């Protein structure tokens, strides 16, 4: 600690760090620190995690239709910790959507969007839209069937906007069809434009927060001194607590917990890929990520001339209302109990979203589906006569290990290394190394992983 303090003192004498420390750590929190205030910091932490993992993935990723899919497969099978980093990036995206959603929900419940924090709320809504932009633009990058056709549907929905829809679709695609220019544009949007825009808005969000301060608790008793209501500035001076150390500790604990959860998901639930994108296979039915499921389900209930209502009219109305909420809700009171209309509208919205999501999940999992890659892997298993040595659920010989539950005890990396060189992974094994091409290797591995 002495060495650290000496280094800090040396830098402080040259860079004048004390004012920055005062600004960052001594910001007063009205009513004191609280676990309720951690969601903003958690969102910022996850954004930084996405930047870091995205940079490492970009080192190996090739944004062309001919190589994008194979580059992702290479990352997952041949790059050290590649599958783990991709898992962190995938699950980190879901965690970021959850964190920013909870942060906005907390701000809404506490009425923290009311004056003088209107601009900060509007910047937050813009950051939420950019987060959804990250999710949509990153979806296409693996260039598998799921990514290709889900993006095709999303782009086609833009085409329903009157007058400018067709032009917007051509700009997004870079032509008449999804192809090389589309993938390049989505890649540039995902790794250049959106991160720079997000960084700028995050800095603006933090700047506004430091200028006007946190809203604090909605409880009026914390805004009262000696029995009389006082101005906010005076309240913050009398009943507040600095950001450091308690709030910093709470934020750090939550950030650490979030990372452990994301890391566990990356290790235990590797994110599979579908087959390589095939524009001619119009029978493929993509399913979007969970945070788009409610919208995906809502689209099923509108047809024909009512289709634009769901594709762009209602979303535009919703985000416009969300953006200008501080000017629409003129009630100056922040306490939820004294804002019944706002709370009921928010509750109805959440019930609708989660209700549609539940219906969509029920429909998806009620229909038995089989991954085409897994089917081909099972056929390849039979073609190679692997059942002459291995048994699966009682079928086959018992010369080699029973594979009935191999997907539960072995991961993708181990299986691929075993297929390439069995003796290197399992010394003494008499299993030959099969000359499999990358597609066959992927199919056979997917079949093995399905045996759970």
| Cα–Cα distance for residue pair 451/401, rounded to 1 Å | 13
Q: Do 444 and 303 belong to one domain?
A: no
CATH number at residue 423: 1.10.760.10
Q: Do 148 and 55 belong to one domain?
A: yes
Helix or strand (DSSP H, E) at 149: helix 145-158
What confidence tens digit (pLDDT) does each residue in 332-390 have?
999 999 999 999 999 999 999 999 999 988 887 765 556 778 888 888 888 888 888 88
Q: Do 408 and 282 belong to one domain?
A: no
Q: Do 268 and 388 belong to one domain?
A: no
Last residue of a domain, one of 344, 366, 388: 366
| Cα–Cα distance for residue pair 19/186, rounded to 1 Å | 41
Low-confidence stretches of the chain (pLDDT beneath 50):
221-230, 233-238
Burial class (CB in 10 A: 0-12, 13-18, 19+), 5: exposed
Q: Do 17 and 152 belong to one domain?
A: yes
| Cα–Cα distance for residue pair 151/172, rounded to 1 Å | 11
pLDDT at 274: 77
Tokens (6 digits) for 397? 């010989």
| Cα–Cα distance for residue pair 113/118, rounded to 1 Å | 6
Q: CA triplet 27, 32, 33: central angle to 5 degrees?
A: 80
Closest CA to 144 of 270, 305, 278: 278
pLDDT at 325: 96
Helix or strand (DSSP H, E) at 300: none
Q: How far is CA 328 from CA 113, 212, 311, 323, in A?
A: 11, 21, 24, 10
Q: What is the CA radius of gyration of the chain?
A: 26
Last residue of a domain, one of 350, 366, 382: 366
What confidence tens digit (pLDDT) does each residue in 202-223 have?
999 999 998 898 888 876 544 4
pLDDT at 229: 46
| Cα–Cα distance for residue pair 338/319, rounded to 1 Å | 25
Q: Do 298 and 384 belong to one domain?
A: no
- Say how many C-beta atoms besides its own lie within 10 A of residue 445's C-beta: 25
Q: Do 77 and 217 belong to one domain?
A: yes
Q: Do 323 and 394 belong to one domain?
A: no
Closest CA to 255 of 402, 97, 81, 45: 45
Residue range(s) defining the domain that contains residue 317 = 2-366
| Cα–Cα distance for residue pair 223/339, rounded to 1 Å | 18
DSSP state of 387: G
CATH number at residue 91: 1.20.810.10
pLDDT at 367: 57
């Amino acid at each position: 600690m002495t060495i650290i303090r000496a280094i800090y003192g040396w830098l402080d004498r040259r860079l004048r760090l004390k004012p920055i420390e005062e600004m960052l750590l001594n910001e007063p929190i009205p009513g004191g620190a609280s676990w309720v205030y951690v969601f903003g910091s958690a969102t910022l932490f996850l954004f930084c995690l996405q930047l870091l993992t995205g940079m490492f993935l970009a080192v190996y990723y090739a944004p062309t239709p001919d190589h994008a899919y194979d580059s992702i497969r290479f990352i997952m099978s041949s790059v050290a910790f590649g599958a783990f980093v991709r898992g962190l990036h995938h699950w980190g995206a879901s965690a970021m959507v959850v964190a920013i959603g909870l942060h906005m929900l907390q701000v809404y419940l506490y009425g923290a969007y009311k004056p003088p924090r209107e601009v900060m709320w509007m910047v937050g809504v813009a950051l939420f839209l950019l987060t959804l932009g990250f999710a949509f633009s990153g979806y296409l990058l693996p260039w598998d069937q799921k990514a290709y056709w889900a993006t095709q549907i999303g782009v086609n929905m833009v085409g329903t906007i009157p007058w400018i829809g067709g032009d917007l679709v051509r700009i997004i695609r870079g032509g008449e069809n999804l192809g090389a220019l589309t993938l390049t544009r989505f890649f540039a949007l995902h790794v250049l434009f959106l991160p720079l825009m997000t960084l700028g808005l995050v800095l603006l969000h933090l700047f506004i927060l430091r200028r006007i301060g946190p809203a604090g608790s909605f409880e009026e008793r914390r805004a009262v001194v000696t029995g009389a209501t006082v101005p906010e500035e005076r309240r913050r001076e009398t009943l507040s607590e600095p950001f450091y150390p308690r709030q910093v500790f709470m934020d750090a604990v939550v950030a650490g917990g979030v990372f452990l959860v994301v890391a566990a998901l990356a290790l235990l639930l590797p994110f599979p890929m579908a087959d390589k994108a095939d524009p001619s296979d119009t029978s493929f039915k993509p399913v979007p990520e969970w945070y788009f499921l409610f919208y995906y389900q809502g689209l099923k209930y509108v047809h024909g001339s009512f289709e634009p209502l769901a594709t762009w009219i209602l979303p535009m109305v919703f985000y416009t209302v969300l953006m200008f909420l501080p000017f629409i809700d003129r009630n100056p009171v922040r306490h939820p109990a004294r804002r019944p209309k706002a709370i009921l509208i928010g509750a109805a919205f959440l019930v609708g979203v989660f209700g549609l999501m539940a219906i969509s999940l029920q429909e998806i999992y009620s229909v038995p589906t089989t991954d085409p890659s897994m089917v081909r892997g099972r056929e390849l298993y039979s073609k190679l006569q692997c059942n002459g040595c291995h048994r699966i659920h009682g079928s086959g010989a018992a010369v080699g290990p029973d594979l009935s539950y191999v997907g539960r005890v072995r991961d993708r990396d181990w299986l691929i290394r075993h297929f390439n060189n069995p003796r290197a992974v399992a010394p003494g094994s008499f299993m030959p190394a099969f000359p499999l091409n990358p597609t066959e290797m992927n199919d056979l591995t997917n079949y093995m992983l399905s045996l759970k």
